[in-house]
Structure 1
Amino acid sequence: MGETDPKIASNAHVLILPYTAQGHINPMLQFAKRLVSKGLKATLVTSTFISKSMLVDPNTPIDIQSISDGFDEGGFAQAESSEDYLATFQKVGSPSLATLMKKLGEIGRPVHALIYDPFLPWALDVAKQFGVAGVAFFTQSCAVNSIYYHVHKGLLQLPLSVSNVSLPGLPELQVSELPSYVSLYGSYPAFFDMVVNQFSNLDLVDWVLFDDFYELETEVVDWMSKLWKLGTIGPTLPSMYLDKRLEDDKDYGVNLFKPDTGTCMSWLDGKPKVSVVYVSFGSMAELDVEQTREIAWGLKRSRCYFLWVVRESEEAKLPTKFMEETSEKGLVVRWCSQLEVLSHESVGCFLTHCGLNSVMEAMCLGIPMVAVPQWTDQITNAKFVEDIWEVGIKAQPDEKGIVKSQAIELSIKEIMGGEKGKEIKKNANKWKNLAREAIDEGGSSDKHINQFVADLFAK
């Protein structure tokens, strides 16, 4: 199948349905661009609320449609609880998705495959209703999803009564290194159910795809490949940061926040090479006041230049007059183009929450990390960043779970100028090269994409 020319599928149309968060939309949108480059047609489906509020590149080759999640005026924030949002999304989203697929067929754009985020397992039922291929696209790592799979199957009994866990294809993990939904069982019941229920009907899918590349998680990918027809098709960064085969693909093309690109780039241009610590906790993490202030003082004590993304909703947590007192060393912005920042020659370190997208971007650009994970899969990602891939340092929290300013300071200084930091930078460059080779023509991820296209659409 891999030898089949995927361009024979030029009439095939795929529908892409991510969960309604920036970190899920971006990788699935980038995969859609790869499919378009292979000759397919692709449509990204978002919620009505997201479609009204997101900023879209007018030159994107991807059509965008919307369905209702039941909260058309306010999205997730409009729901009474996480449980309410997820239950309503299933109740309202399922018929809304079916209506869209029917409409597309009636106007001459029939759907041949639905590529959906397994956070929304009900989408597979809609695909089967229309007799089209159902494809699960995971936006968290193979390691993390293997853990959730074992919980779903009852092979990892919760609450855990052991201190260490050994699973096929994974290093031995302390309980504290597992995703927080597992290690702190009962802490987020709605989200726990969501990640475990990803596997409720997964045996019925035609393909399982991961935003990952084979060399990154070889052993667990090999193990999971025995369960499903599986492909690692990442990293899903815009092509100009990887293989440069997709012309003008310089940005994800969709933003839920408006980036202050001009200010960031101008500020970075005036700084020496590898002198800046870039700090971001993504689009969803909400640090408490104490943790925010410890990070602030740690940055100040490091005496390094820093660019810190603090969303508007989080600004009040900063120490009084912090921005004024650190204006000679730091810049605080509400949002930025993370890829442009990480690829700037002045950036030498990324202080991150370790969401998989951020980790992948840093690794693809050869930037060492200081890991300050907050919850969910970030905990396990941080373990891999420090101990398995050896591309960063985890700043250790105290007994209350707070990473103190001294730990922040020491971690930054080690990355930026310590002996361990030198080895970490070498490893970061190694993984940078491997990531690019994976998506290059003939690389492991490119082969999986071609196999996927040929298998599903050659007919």
Structure 2
Amino acid sequence: MEKQHDNITKSPHVLLLPFPAQGHINPIIQFGKRLISKGVKTTLITTIFFLNSHFTNKTNNTSIEIEAISDGFDEGGEASADSPESYLKTFKEVGSRSLADLIKKLLSQGKTIDAIIYDPFMTWPLDVALEFGINGGSFFTQACGVNIIYYHVHKGLISLPLGPTTVSVPGLPPLERWETPSYVHNYGPYPGWSKTVFGQFANIDQARWVFTTSFYQFEKEVIDWMRKKWKLMAIGPTLPSMYLDKRLEDDKDYGFNLYQANHNKYTNWLNDKPKKSVVYVSFGSIAKLGHEQMEEIAWGLTDSDVNFLWVVRAEEEEKLPKEFVDKILTIKASCIKTIMKEERGVIARRNALKWKDLAKLAIDEGGSSDKDIDEFVYELTKA
């Protein structure tokens, strides 16, 4: 395929290609906002289904431009696929061609593309980018401690299923089986997603950059190890600026919402509760819990005897037990009570406040994450 022509007179232009799920879109959107604030033109690439069903002028409250490619399921998205494996396979086949067509279209319009930043749940965007002579950056939305475990599984350095011994990886203390990510210690139930999370590293050595939404002070031992292998840039936390450095004007939310939220209902409820008295529970936009798991969590929250806000997607609501009456989960309830009421919980909450302050410092002007973003922008402008 033809390479784009050099153009040093225009501002850098970056394409952002997240996996089409809310928890993957949010972080890369915040990164895009940071890039825009530093003079980099940013375009989000979503799927045709998401563009038609979720993205409107009302849902896009940012200055990020939007383009769309096909995942092969333009009418129904992932939900219309036979299985996660089928969706991912088709997305790779159709998406690769569709992304190449989009790149050709943008180049024919006289636009430059200086980098494609992609979610490694899909490794194929890097292959497409390199065919056009465009540098690619892998954008991880998980913590580095999780990534390093997945990497060692991918390289065959951790064998699955796990044995009885502890798991050891650079930068982390020895881990018990239950302390590893669920795809590792409960290997088998989700083969499609397991293959995806372990396969994130298939072509990572060809990426010009590797981005993580963590920040250096939080995981410095693991980040130091990863930086020996790749050009790792820790650019987190990727939250709206209002909750961090407040340098991005009017940045109060992510700006893209795939689900309809009733903000007034729960904010009014929260405002009515004492400070630091509410447990927040959410499993993201991909995870699906079984009926038994939903019941256990429900009973555990009830038995904890504390206020809680549990985010449950509409399609998961039918799994909730009809009545929260029997108190059966003393272990889970005890964990919540420990955090909310006991001395160990006081220490944990004190540590949380410490990391909150360090997170703000990292993304503020001159912080470690801000410097990594500046370095990336400098590389784009000098190219």
- Common fold, TM-score beyond 0.5? yes
- Structure 2 residue aligned with 1:51: 51
Aligned to 1:74: 76
From 291, 294, 317, the equivalent of 1:292 is: 294
Give me the CA root mean square deviation.
2.0
Corresponding residue to 1:64 among 66, 90, 103 = 66
Residue 148 to residue 30, structure 1, CA distance change in 2 (3 Å): same
Shift in Å, 1:321: 4.6
**What is the CA-CA distance between 1:425 and the residue it aligns to?**
1.4
Aligned to 2:375: 451
Of residues 412, 417, 422, the one that matches 2:346 is 422
- 1:40 paired residue number: 40
Q: Which amino acid is the alignment partner of residue 453 of structure 1?
A: V
Cα distance between partner residues in 2 of 1:200 and 1:15: 21
User: Which residue of 413, 416, 424 maps to 2:337?
Assistant: 413
Take 1:404 and 1:54, find their aligned partners in 2: how far apart are those partners? 40
Instruction: State the shift of 1:243 in Å.
Output: 0.4
Provide the rounded CA distance (Å) in 2 between the counterparts of 1:310 and 1:200: 33
Is the 2:130–2:136 contact (alpha carbons within 8 Å) kept by the matching residues of 1? yes
Q: Which residues of 2 match residues 239-278 of structure 1 at below 5 A?
A: 239-278=241-280
Structure 2 unmatched runs, 5+: 1-7
Hey, what's the Cα distance between the residues in 1 that align with 2:112 and 2:177? Answer: 47
Q: Does 1:188 align with 2:190?
A: yes
Over 3 Å counting, the alpha-carbon distance change for 1:319 and 1:151 in structure 2 is closer
Q: Is the strand fraction higher in 1 or 2? A: 1
Q: Match of 1:366?
A: none
Q: Report the CA distance shift for 1:232/1:189 in structure 2 as closer, same or farther (over 3 A).
A: same
1:120 Cα deviation (Å)? 1.0
SS of the counterpart of 2:62? coil
1:308 maps to which residue?
Answer: 310
Q: C-alpha displacement at 1:424, in angstroms?
A: 1.2
SS state at 1:165 partner:
coil
Q: Determine the C-alpha separation between the residues in 2 that align with 1:416 and 1:433.
A: 21
Does the 8 Å contact 1:10/1:41 carry over to 2?
no
* 2:14 alignment partner in structure 1: 14
Distance 1:408 1:183, change over 3 A: closer
8 Å contact kept, 1:213–1:438: yes
Q: Which of 160, 171, 181 does residue 179 from structure 1 map onto?
A: 181
**TM-score, normalising length: structure 1:** 0.77
Structure 1 stretches of 4+ with a deviation exceeding 6 A read none
Contact 1:213 1:444 (8 Å CA) reproduced = yes
Q: Secondary structure at 1:185's aligned position in 2?
A: coil
Quick one: which of 62, 83, 86 aligns to 1:84? 86
SS at match of 1:194: helix
Give the equivalent residue in structure 1 for 2:121. Answer: 119
Alpha-carbon shift at residue 265 of structure 1 (Å): 1.3
1:166 to 1:46, Cα distance in 2 relative to 1, 3 A: same
Once residues 201 and 303 of structure 1 are traced to their aligned partners in structure 2, the CA distance between those partners, rounded to angstroms, is: 48
> Larger deviation: 313-322 or 427-436?
313-322
Q: 1:167 to 1:298 in 2, by over 3 A?
A: closer
Provide the C-alpha distance between the structure 2 equivalents of 1:15 and 1:189, rounded to a whole number of angstroms. Answer: 30
* SS across alignment from 1:209: strand
Q: 1:84: how far off?
A: 0.9
Query: 1:9, 1:29 → 2: CA distance?
Result: 26
Change (3 A) 1:298 1:160: closer
Q: Call closer, same or farther: CA 1:301–1:188 in 2, change over 3 Å.
A: closer
Question: Which whole-Å CA distance do the structure 1 matches of 2:198 and 2:36 have between them?
Answer: 31
C-alpha distance in structure 1 between counterparts of 2:302 and 2:154, whole Å = 44
Query: Contact 2:61–2:256 at 8 Å: present in 1 too?
Result: no
Query: CA 1:180–1:308 in structure 2 vs 1: closer, same or farther (change >3 Å)?
Result: closer
Q: 2:203 aligns with which of 201, 207, 225?
A: 201
Matched, 1:23 2:23: yes
The answer as to whether partners of 2:240 and 2:251 remain within 8 angstroms in 1 is: yes
Aligned-partner SS, 1:24: helix
Normalized against structure 2, the TM-score is what? 0.92
Check conservation: 1:101, 1:110, Cα contact below 8 A: no
How far does residue 155 in structure 1 lie from its aligned partner after superposition? 2.2
Q: 1:191 to 1:282 in 2, by over 3 A?
A: closer
- CA gap of 1:432–1:245, structure 2 versus 1, over 3 A, is same
Q: Rate the CA distance shift 1:162–1:406 in 2: closer, same or farther, 3 A.
A: closer
Q: CA deviation at 1:162?
A: 4.5
Aligned residue type for 2:136? G
Worse-superposed segment, 149-158 or 137-146: 149-158
Q: Distance in 2 between matches of 1:281 and 1:271?
A: 23
Q: Quick one: distance in 1 between partners of 2:173 and 2:220?
A: 12
* Whole-angstrom distance in 2 between the partners of 1:72 and 1:163: 46
1:273 match: secondary structure: coil
**Alpha-carbon distance between aligned partners in 2 of 1:286 and 1:59, rounded to the nearest angstrom:** 29
Q: C-alpha distance in 2, partners of 1:223/1:321?
A: 49
Equivalent-residue separation in structure 1 for 2:331 and 2:55 (angstroms): 37
Note closer, same or farther for the CA distance 1:412–1:291 as it changes in structure 2 (3 Å cut): same
1: distance between equivalents of 2:273 and 2:181?
37
* Counterpart code for 1:102: K
Separation in structure 2 between the aligned mates of residue 88 and residue 254 of structure 1, nearest angstrom? 25
Per the alignment, in what secondary structure is the counterpart of residue 432 of structure 1? helix
- The secondary structure found in structure 1 opposite 2:66 is strand
Over 3 Å counting, the alpha-carbon distance change for 1:157 and 1:285 in structure 2 is closer
For 1:267, the aligned partner's letter is W
Give the distance between the partners of 2:371 and 2:226, measured in 1 at CA.
Answer: 18
Shift of 1:275: 2.5
Q: CA deviation at 1:266?
A: 1.5
C-alpha distance 280-184 of structure 1, shift in aligned 2 (>3 A): closer
